Structure formats: C-alpha cells, structure tokens
Amino acid sequence: MPVEPTLSHGEPMSAWSTLYVATTGLSHLEGIPPLPCQDAAGAASSPRPMLAVADGAGSSPASDLGARSLVAAMLRLAETLEVQLAWLLDADAEPDPEAVRQFSELLVRHARGTLEDLATELHRPVRDLRCTLLLVVVGHSRLLWLKVGDGEIVLERATPVTVREGEEPGLAPHLSILGERGKGEFANQTVFVDERLALEQTQHGCVSAAALTGIALLSDGAAEKLVSLDGQQVSGQLSHWLDDLRQGRLRQRDLVRRFYSEEFCRGTSGDDRSIALLARKMEAL
C-alpha cells in the first residue's frame, strides 16, 4: 500500500462560500425565434469547494443541453473521487506531475463520455451538444484546474500592502488568470468538448492555494467586460463581488441585474453570460 501522505487540515472547507448564475444574452433573447441560454454554471462547497462553467457552441442546436449536463456531471465526478482528490490536493508534498496529468486525462475522458452518452440518448450527433468547459476543484494545499476552450479562470490572492511606519500591516486583493492565450497548435481555434477532444487540446494543472481568497469562472460573454483581451487586466468588480459573497451580501439577482445593465451591455456582443464564484473567509487565511 502507498505511504499515507502528510495532509494539511488547518481549516474547514466550510470557510468557502459559492454562488453562480447563467443568463441569456440579449442577442439570444432578441433572436427570431429567441434562443435559450447556452451557458451553464454550477458550484459546491462540500465535500470540497468546486466550480464549473460550460458555454455551448452557438452553431450546435442542442448545446444548451450539453452544457447543463456537462457541468452537473463534472461536479458529480469530483464529489465521487473525493478520496483521490484528497491525495492530490490536500497533501503537503507536491504531487507527481504524472499523477496530475493522469487525473486531468480522466477528467477529459469523463467530459467526452458525458456528451457521447447524452448524444446516444437523444439520437443526435455529439457535435449538436458540444461546449467549452472550465473546472476548478480546491484542496487545502492546492487547486486543480481544467480549461477547454474559451472563458476565464480568475484567482484572487491576498497580498501584503505597504503601510506607513507604525501602522498595522494590511492585505489587498490581487487578481490574475490561469491559462495562456494563443498556446500551441490549437491557437486561434475555439476548442470544444466533443468526441474528438484530446488532453493536448486542453490547459490544466495544479497551483498552490496559499493566500487564495477567491475564484471566479467566467464564460467568454461575462469576461467581455471583466477581463482584457490579452488577459493582463482583470476588473476589480470581481473582488467587490467576492467580498460581498464572503460577507453574505451577494445574491444571484445582483449578478443578473449587473449583467443586464446598460453599462455592462454597451459595446458587447450580447452573448450569454455565466459566472461561478468561490469566496474564502478572510479569517481562514
């Protein structure tokens, strides 16, 4: 049997709060006939924090069904594999890169198989259901992430701020994204979960959860106003939402109102918008 790992159990997973919403874009609402929302989002805080967002391909007539099924299936899989995830994400020692690769391959196979099974049930080709996928699962020591296609994974970490002599040291939120733009042979192509998806078409990995205070998954419609095209700038609005969430002040209606506001819609494509948020209580740091 393998040696038991040294685990970091310094905080309960209940230190995290989640919220998610998917809204129909104005271009879909104003279509003739109107189109359904092709985005889906989901999150859970138990047995460990996890988030998922999927964005159905606009050219796929049943991608709304594919997106909803995929989000539910990936969150269920993460719950089912809790023991394996504990070894990967909670141990003090860094996981073997090959173990991370193998687990990511498992996620890709499950995503692919979920849409293949749904296609069989609906008597449709898989391409009718294809969608992008963002997935994050959080542990005590690190988080596991998977990105298939468009959208953004944003991390918020607490960073020390410079204070005057005699003042109490403070912390400020710092936002950054996971993943690279224009990477590899699939640069400038939108990748979807379908029957041909390979691990090499995805971006994935494990990163430290040190000083992590929040995570946001954004479909490309939501990211239009929140993340710059080059990924170098992230709107501070996300930190405001995350702070409201950890304080118990943020509701789904607040996000919906913001997504349909004139300011948010001006100059955008009118695409569907979905977001999944995970906020950590500051006292848990």
Residue-wise pLDDT for 202-235, tens only, equals 999 999 999 999 999 999 999 999 999 888 999 9
For residue 42, list its beta bridge partners.
Answer: 52
Q: What are phi and psi of 17, to 5 degrees?
A: -120, 145
Decide if 90 is inside a domain: yes
Angle of helix 63-80 relative to helix 82-89, nearest 10 degrees, comes to 70
Q: Which two tokens stand for residue 235?
A: 């709107």
Residue 193: inside a domain, yes or no?
yes
pLDDT at position 282, please? 82
Judged by phi (left if over 0) then psi (alpha if -120 to 50, else beta), residue 244 lies in alpha
Residue 78 lies in a domain: yes
Residue 98 has a pLDDT of 96
DSSP 8-state symbol, 131: B
Query: ω before 33 within 30° of 0 (cis)?
Result: yes
Domain with residue 205: its CATH number is: 3.60.40.10
pLDDT at 171: 84
User: Which of these, 128, 2, 139, lies nearest to 69 by C-alpha position?
Assistant: 128
Q: Where are the alpha helices (DSSP H) in 21-158?
A: 26-29, 63-80, 82-89, 97-122
pTM of the model: 0.92
Count Cβ atoms below 10 Å from residue 113 Cβ, excluding itself.
Answer: 12
The answer to the question of residue 1 being in a domain is no
Q: What is the predicted pLDDT for the residue at 5?
A: 46
- Residue 285, domain member (yes or no): no
Give the structural domain span for 67: 14-277
- DSSP letters of 201-258? GSEEEEEE-TTEEEEEEE-HHHHTTTB-TTSS-B-THHHHHHHHHHTT---HHHHHHH
The per-residue pLDDT for 6 is 46
Tally Cβ neighbours within 10 Å of residue 257: 12
Q: Which helix (H) or strand (E) holds 264?
A: helix 262-265
Beta strand pairing call for 142-148 and 133-138: antiparallel
* Number of domain units in the chain: 1
Q: How far is CA 143 from CA 49, 187, 232, in A?
A: 10, 25, 21
- 219-239 burial: b if 16+ Cβ within 10 Å, else e: bbbbbbbbbeeebeebeeebb
DSSP single-letter state for residue 265: H
The predicted structure's pLDDT at residue 84: 95
Q: Which residues of the chain have pLDDT under 70?
A: 1-13, 163-169, 181-188
Q: Is residue 109 part of a domain?
A: yes
**What's the confidence (pLDDT) of residue 188?**
53
- With a CB cutoff of 8 Å and minimum separation 6, the contacts of 222 are 259, 273, 274, 275
CB atoms within 10 A of CB 162: 8
Flag whether 167 is in a domain.
Answer: yes
